[in-house]
Amino acid sequence: MENLNELYEAILAGKLAPAVEITKKAVAEGLSPNVIINDYMVKAMEEIGRRFEEGKVFVPNLLISARAMRGALDILKPLLKGDPTVYLGKIAIGTVKGDLHDIGKNLVASMFEGCGFEVINLGVDVDSDKFVQSIQENNVDIVCMSALLTTTMNYMKEVIAAIESAGFRDKVKIMVGGAPVNDTFAKVIGADAYTSNANAAVAKAKELIDSK
């Protein structure tokens, strides 16, 4: 069996080619994409973040680790796809204004797609108008917002206010996530749910669709 600690080390060191190669081998050996993602890839991103916080590494290190993580994740994405005949509903997802972090958001989007949701990925640095427009034009069931910065998470409240003043609050469920966000914050800003990871987001989205 492939030694996946090498995948952890490759992402931590920002080595794209080895990260991709090890992931391909792990897949060929039948390892679960969820284990590869959660036990090695996400852990490496957490560690590079910790080192950044301690001043041991710098923004370029974050960038190359993110590139290695994305490359490895691209190998796994097709495997997250589920039964194409299942349709659970439509989700618009974006990282809020001022925030460029998209690895977690894209992971959540891929899991949604894999589990039978149609996903409109609005990208990063998404303002309230764009969220409102996505509801207007695409008839979405759930709006999901992601934020990784304490300085951008508060913008989620503005998006909810904009959805309310556009008259769509009763039409959509609103979910929020990202490292600095938590359940209390979600309640305070008037979101319908907070989830801490991609698997929990899928389970909660199914629950919210059932309750509509």
Q: Which residues here bind ligand B1M, judged by CB under 6 A?
A: 42, 45-46, 48-49, 52-53, 59, 62-63, 66, 98-105, 107-108, 144, 146, 148-150, 175-180, 195, 197-198, 201
- Which residue's CB is nearer to ligand B1M, number 28 or number 59? 59
- Give the phi and the psi of residue 192 in degrees, each rounded to 5: -85, -25
List strands edge to edge, sheet with 89-96: 117-126, 89-96, 142-146, 173-177, 193-194
Q: Which is nearer to ligand B1M, 1 or 155 (CB)?
A: 155
Tell me the two tokens of residue 100. 């460029």
**Which of these, 149, 140, 152, 143, lies nearest to 193 by C-alpha position?**
143
> Shortest distance, CB of residue 105 to ligand B1M, whole angstroms?
5
The half-sphere exposure of 138 on its side-chain side, counting CA atoms within 13 A, is 21
Q: How far is the CB of 173 from ligand B1M (least distance, A)?
A: 10
Is 175 or 189 the residue whose CB approaches ligand B1M more closely?
175
Between residues 60 and 85, which has the closer beta carbon with respect to ligand B1M? 60
CB of 19 to ligand B1M, least distance (A): 14
Burial letters 17-53, b for 16+ CB under 10 A, else e:
ebbbbbbebbbeeebebeebbeebbbbbbebbeebee
Please identify, using beta-carbon distances, which residue of 22 and 41 lies nearer to ligand B1M: 41
> Where does residue 200 rank: exposed (0-12), middle (13-18), buried (19+ CB within 10 A)?
middle
Q: Which residue has the tokens 């060191």?
A: 13
Measured in Å, how far apart are the chain's first and last C-alpha atoms?
Answer: 45
Nearest approach in angstroms of CB 63 to ligand B1M is: 4
What is the closest distance, in whole angstroms, from the C-beta atom of residue 147 to ligand B1M in the complex?
Answer: 8
Nearer to ligand B1M, 15 or 105 (CB): 105
What's the closest the beta carbon of residue 160 comes to ligand B1M, in angstroms?
13
* Angle at CA of residue 4, ends 34 and 179, nearest 5°: 50
